[in-house]
Amino acid sequence: EDQVTQSPEALRLQEGESSSLNCSYTVSGLRGLFWYRQDPGKGPEFLFTLYSAGEEKEKERLKATLTKKESFLHITAPKPEDSATYLCAVQGGNTPLVFGKGTRLSVIA
Amino acid sequence: SAVISQKPSRDICQRGTSLTIQCQVDSQVTMMFWYRQQPGQSLTLIATANQGSEATYESGFVIDKFPISRPNLTFSTLTVSNMSPEDSSIYLCSVARGGAQETQYFGPGTRLLVL
């Protein structure tokens, strides 16, 4: 059974304080790992798709990396507007997308 | 990406009643999905809405409780039937342009509270 575990559950950072969010997964035949951002009262917003170990993708202050067992979302010099819940999901074989519970990020000015 | 709208955005309903949620996409898509997001829990797939045929339900979800329609490639509805307080949740529609393993884009969600 595909599983996704995200840590920490919540993270509080000062503005400019870089950090990383972790997504550990077990999946049979990874087809893709997805990162989404979700603001309160809104649907998830797509950030990245990673397909194979060693792959990296960047967007503004965010960089996502992938190994065979986990993915990291690195946030460099975060701003208050980066505050949100970040969701990780995996797609394996012919199975549905499986989501983690998310990491709730708060960036304090 | 895709522009996805859902109606209603939120509702408060009495137990025993039913609510139909609509999902509209700005262009034709291959795949449409319905998810549930309960407080403190991860998103859970309810079913895949298939155009022109019956929806494909995940384990723990049944057609009598969550009937789904998909009359064309841009529109789908999810009905939550005979509601109980345990059905209080956020219901999300998502779409993928390619196959089921393509990137999914989500609508804004429908917040449902059942009293």
What stretches in chain A show pLDDT beneath 70? none
A46 touches chain B (CB under 8 A): yes
Question: What confidence tens digit (pLDDT) does each residue in A2-27 have?
Answer: 899 999 999 999 999 999 999 999 99
A96 touches chain B (CB under 8 A): yes
Q: How far B10 CA sits from the closest chain A CA (Å)?
A: 10
H/E stretch holding A34 reads: strand A30-38
In chain A, whose CA is at the least distance from the CA of B58?
A: A96
**Residue A46 identity:** F
Contact across the interface for B42 and A4, Cβ inside 8 Å: yes
Question: What confidence tens digit (pLDDT) does each residue in B79-108 have?
Answer: 999 999 999 999 999 999 866 568 899 999
B64: left (phi over 0), alpha (psi -120 to 50) or beta: alpha
